Structure formats: C-alpha cells, structure tokens
Structure 1
Amino acid sequence: MRRILFLIILIGGILHGCRASGGYTINGTVEGIEVGKVFILKQKFTKENWDTLAIGTVKDGKFVIKGKVQEPTAGYVVMEGMMGAIVFLENDAKYDIHMASREVPVVTGGGQEQKIYQGYVDISTRMTEEYHKFSPDMIKALQENNEEKKREFEERMGKMRDAFEKEQVAYLKQHGNSFFALFKLATRALGMDVASVKKDFDLCSEELKKTEPGQYISSLLPRLAKIAIGATAPDFTAKTPDGDDVSLYGTKGKVKLLDFWSSNCGKCREEIRKFIPIYNEYKLQGFEILALSLDKDREAWVKAIKEDGAPWVQVSDLKGSKSPLNEIYGIWTLPSNLLLDENNKVLARNISSEQLKEMLPEYLNLKQ
C-alpha cells in the first residue's frame, strides 16, 4: 500500500513538473499585413541594449510564437510598420495580441506580471482621458491668449499630474515584490538617489533579486552611493575643444555645478541659456560651472557652444552614450547635473535653473 501511495505521489509530482515547465504562447493578428516577420526583443541592462528572444512569421495576417524563459522577462513585440507591444513573458502563459497600423497594440491574457503591468498602464490611460476632457477649453484659452485661464489650466493640470504620479508610486509600492516593479525600478534607477533605489529594491524577494534586472540594480547601488547627497563625487579628466585636459577636482569654486548635456538635447540648451545670467551674477562670489558634453560629433558640440554663448569651461570625451562617465555619474537622462561644494561633496542632484538660483545664496554664504 505504501509503495502504491509513493508511486501516486511520484507520478503526480512528475505531471505537475511537466505542467510547470510549459513555455509561453503568443497568438497574434495583424491588420493590413498578410505576410512578414514579428520579433520579440528583450531589453538588456548592458551597453548592448537589445537582444532578440524569438522571431515569428505572419501568414494570412496571423502569427504564433512559442518559447520558454528562464525567469520572468520583459519582451517588446515589434513588426515593421506597426507600433510595438510590451509583454511580460512567463512560462505557462498565453497572450493574444492585435496589431494595426498607427494604433496601440491590444494585449490580452498573460500571467500575473502582465496583469500587474496592465494595472499600471491603466493609471496612465485614466490620466490621459482626464486631460482630454478639458483640452478643448485649454486650446481656446491659448488661442484667445487668456492669461488668467491659461494659469488656471496649468495649475489644474499640475495638480492632476501630481495626483496620478502619487497613485503610480503607491501602485508600485503595493506590488513592490513583483518582477514588473523590479523591472520598472531597473529602468529608472540611474536617475534616482541611492536611498530611494535601495528602499524599493528591499521590497523584492531574494529570488527576484537574482533575476537580470535585480543583478543590475545590485551592481548599480555602489556606483549610485558615490554620487549620493553628502558623498564625494569621483574625479575625471576630459578635453576642451582646444584639446586641453581639465579635471573636476582641478576646477575651483566654493560651489560648482557639473552639468551634463548634449548638442541635440533641446531642454539642455534651454537650461544652459538660463544658467548664463545666474553664472554671471555669482561667479565673483565663488560659483563655477563645468559642462560635460555627451556628444559624439565634435563639430556639433563646438557649434552648440558658440550658439549658446556659455562662458564656462566645456569638456567632452566625445564617446556619447558609450562614455564611461554615464555609469560613473548615474546619468539616466539629459539634462542632468550635480551641485558640489569646494571639496566636491554632493549638495544636490538634477536641479533646475530656478532651484539653482534659490540655492546659491545659501551655499555661497550670501544670505544675511
């Protein structure tokens, strides 16, 4: 009897294992295209940003892709002429995707991670719908140049945006121990302070921390600690347009702004022009700026410097996004900056020109 019971348990375990080892299936329909290729791309947290997970063939406007993943995986389903679809792949999950030209793909089905992702997307969808409700009145106010109405709408939009952002933060915290939340954290960690990254990362299980995005965050934490507020920023040396070597530590000032920018970043150029009067006002009191360009094209870099007329020192290694300084300084997006004291200790990160103008009198000991 015991032997029979043992065999039943053993067979049951084998059958359960077989079910658990099944892969994912994606069934897709494509409007307007009878034949073609569909690719599932995977974002990698390395310098080689994308990897091809699978390739499917469209026939008679339909395709089926089957595969297996070693761990939950964020995939991007793409086809020429179509908008891409994000899928969080899990084994034993089935996904249905409908793609049409100039339309956002519709994804249904999937596993638990896809459901969590969709819940996050729903928050953004509701925000967009709320914006659309009063956009006609906003457009009318702009056309009539009604300043009072414009300020009213801007204030309303700002409050709405803040409310939805708080909802998204709360949602991510609620689902902090999910692969989706971990993946989301990994994609934005470079733009966050180390304490915030660690706090969100600690919501994840040890199993999740062993996944690819988890390992990436683990490797990133020590680097983020080097540029945390209160830490001493690492030194570097880069060349000016004239070929001279300039280092961060060799740039003297009671307060220094290390500004990261590029010639094709419109927001960067806009902020640079706003920095100029602030620099001219506080330079004699000990304020200095060192601008580090993430350009690859020397001509474009030099042209932008001349057009903007910034009077401070400009340097670059002309390696663009592959510059090692991206990782060292946690540059996630541009513009980015660090405000440092005379000993290169970080006072603030990623501040606007308005914030800089407010902070300088205090840090330069100019307040009465």
Structure 2
Amino acid sequence: MKKILILIAIVFVLSSGKNHNNLNIKGKVEGVQSGKVYLQKFYNKMFFVIDSASIVNGEFQFAKNVELPEIYGLTLDTTKSTYLVFLDENPVTVQLDTSTYYRNTVVSGSKLQDQYVEYGKQRGVKIDEFIKANPASLVSAYVFYRYYSYRLSPEEIKSNIQLLNPSLRETPYVRVLTELTETLETVAVGKSAPDFTANDTEGKPRAFSAHLGKGYVLLDFWAAWCGPCRRENPNIVKAYNKYKEKGFDIVAVSLDKNKNSWLDAIAKDNLTWAHVSDLLFWDSEPAKLYGVRAIPANFLIDKNGVIVAKNLRGEDLDKTLGELLD
C-alpha cells in the first residue's frame, strides 16, 4: 500500500464564545488528488464526523467552529482507523501517515498532544501520580477515563476524581467516571443483578431475568471486533460444554454495531448459548447498566439473581464453576 502522508496546517482564531474557536485547516495530501478528509469528534470511545473537506488537486481546507481544548479525530476513511489528536488553542501541524495505522503520524504545536504522546512512552504509570503532575490537563482526564476506569474500584475512582482540577469536572470524561462509581456499586459482588431486555439474533426482545432461577448464569460482554474476546471464547466454550448439564448457562451481550459480523462470529466461535445485542457499540444499554468500560467482561450470577463473581477468565472460570457445581 502506497504510503499516504497528509501535512495539515491548523490555525485557530479565538471567537467570542467561551472555549470555542474557529478552526481553519489547510492541508496537502501527497499522492492523492481527490477524495475527502474527515474531522471527527470523540465521544464514548467512538468518533462522529462533524465536518469533511474535499481534496482538490491534493489540497483541502476546513473552517469549523469547535470546542477547544478537546479530542478530535482525523481520517480519510470513516470505516477504518482514525487518528486521535488533542487540539488546543495553539497552531498545530499534523503529518498523518495512514498506511501504517498512523504509527508514524507526527503532531507538532499542540502541548496536549505532546503530553499524550509522552504518556504513551511511559510504562507502569500510576494514575494518581500522573494526575497530581498534570491536574488541570485534559490528557489526565482522558487517560483516567480511557485506561483506568475498568481497573479501579469505585472508591479509587472517587479519590482520583478529587485530584483533578475542578475545571475538568464537567468534561464528558469525568462525568462518565462519576456516574460509573454509582453503577459499579450496584453491580458489586453480593448485589442483585439488574434486569434488562435486548433483542436476540432473530430480532426478538429477550429479558435477561428469564434465564435466571435454574442455576448459575454467566453474563458475558463481548464483540466480534474484540480480539481479546475472541481469544477468550474457546475457554468459555470449554466451560459451557463441561458444566451445562450441571446447571450452568450463558447469556452473551454483544457490543457490536454490525449484525452480520456479530452473527458470523457466533457461528465461527461455536457459541451455542443465548445472544442479545442492541447493536449500539459502546452505547450499549446493558453495558452501561453493568458499568462495562472494557471487554471481555463477565458476571457470574446464582439462581437467586445475586452476583457471585466478576471477570472470570480461562482457568479461573473453570475452577470457580467446579467449586460451585461439582
């Protein structure tokens, strides 16, 4: 694949609206004479197109009123990968390499982007230490939200939120974290599993509670596009075949958005239990109800509808079921 490099000059002119700037983007696309460049807004692990610019003789231009500082995406193809970029009030230049999943993309001028790139180079970073060093940075809020929300307890999330500058409290990232603490407390081990209804593979609504009361049920969150989920599926299949006659069942909730991909993955991975999905990706209502921020994720629920374990994988799932059912 021919390497495509986009050199984008981004100039911001302050407008009268608070935290809003007129975003003027002029750029050149080497090796591409026509097509479109898309500007996307990041929200809930997804990108939504907010503007597009035609490429004419290898050049394009954007003029858009946007919120700054904020997280955006740049891409030539909305069906493929997007390059996440932190934009602030500073002039920015982006050299976008679309041939290697943006591995060689270089952003210059954005202090926030520099900070995010530097974070990515570090290993074993403790989120509380990172926040203390950068309490007012949007990068701190994003890193906390994106990479730590599914690792921490509700108490740890609350304590780290307190370390953030109050200016970040109303960002969508911190709002999600605040709501998440309340949700995680309702789905802790020992709590009753919340009920929900979602469509099965035939498009018929199915209540989760209909599967409870006979034995242990694994509520499994996964997706066809999720590599770790697909690698974990053989372990779940093995456990299901071993314990299904002893009172073990599974209800799988997919975070897919393409129904055909979902159905194909079910067939290829031999997942012969109940499946539901609202096909809303990270806007999945069941996932939100259970505070799922990363997949694979699962909840083991007893016949009384009480959560007895969470995120059992591999040998842990087999061992736990053996202790409960053998």
TM above 0.5, yes or no, is yes
When you count strand as a share of all residues, which structure comes out higher?
2
**What's 2:41 paired with?**
42
Q: Distance in 2 between matches of 1:290 and 1:21?
A: 48
Question: Counterparts of 1:198-277 in structure 2 under 5 Å?
Answer: 198-237=158-197, 247-248=208-209, 250-252=211-213, 255-262=216-223, 267-268=228-229, 270-277=231-238
The 3 A distance-change label for structure 1 pair 110 and 65 is farther
The 3 A distance-change label for structure 1 pair 90 and 290 is same
Q: State whether structure 2 residue 262 is matched by structure 1 residue 304.
A: no
When you count helix as a share of all residues, which structure comes out higher?
1
**What's 1:167 paired with?**
125
Q: Distance in 2 between matches of 1:77 and 1:191?
A: 27
Q: Distance in 2 between matches of 1:190 and 1:343?
A: 29
Segments of structure 1 that go 5 or more residues without pairing to the other structure are 1-16, 124-163
The 3 A distance-change label for structure 1 pair 248 and 270 is farther
Question: Counterparts of 1:1-368 in structure 2 under 5 Å?
Answer: 28-33=27-32, 37-45=36-44, 49-52=47-50, 54-56=51-53, 61=58, 65=62, 69-79=66-76, 84-91=82-89, 93-100=90-97, 102=99, 104-111=104-111, 113-123=112-122, 164=123, 166-167=124-125, 169=127, 172-173=130-131, 174-187=133-146, 191-192=150-151, 194-195=153-154, 196-237=156-197, 247-248=208-209, 250-252=211-213, 255-262=216-223, 267-268=228-229, 270-282=231-243, 287-294=247-254, 297=259, 301=263, 304=266, 308=270, 310=272, 313-316=273-276, 319=279, 321=281, 323-362=284-323, 364=324
The 3 A distance-change label for structure 1 pair 79 and 280 is closer
Partner-residue secondary structure (3-state), 1:248: helix
Shift of 1:342: 4.1
Count of aligned residue pairs for this structure pair: 300
The 3 A distance-change label for structure 1 pair 318 and 119 is closer
The 3 A distance-change label for structure 1 pair 342 and 188 is farther
Percent identity over paired residues: 23
Shift of 1:107: 0.9
CA radius of gyration, larger in: 1
- Please tell me whether the aligned partners of residues 293 and 301 of structure 1 are also in contact (alpha carbons under 8 angstroms): no
Segments of structure 2 that go 5 or more residues without pairing to the other structure are 1-15
- Please tell me whether the aligned partners of residues 193 and 224 of structure 1 are also in contact (alpha carbons under 8 angstroms): no
- Higher RCO (CA < 8 A, seq sep 6+): 2
Q: Distance in 2 between matches of 1:62 and 1:282?
A: 61
Q: Distance in 2 between matches of 1:314 and 1:202?
A: 41
Shift of 1:288: 1.9
Q: Deviations over 1:35-55 (max 9, x none)?
A: 654332111239x85141x55
The 3 A distance-change label for structure 1 pair 250 and 199 is same
- Please tell me whether the aligned partners of residues 213 and 302 of structure 2 are also in contact (alpha carbons under 8 angstroms): no
- Please tell me whether the aligned partners of residues 32 and 101 of structure 1 are also in contact (alpha carbons under 8 angstroms): no
- Please tell me whether the aligned partners of residues 57 and 63 of structure 1 are also in contact (alpha carbons under 8 angstroms): yes
The 3 A distance-change label for structure 1 pair 240 and 67 is closer
Shift of 1:178: 1.9
Q: Give the root-mean-square deviation of aligned CA atoms.
A: 4.3
- Please tell me whether the aligned partners of residues 136 and 167 of structure 2 are also in contact (alpha carbons under 8 angstroms): no
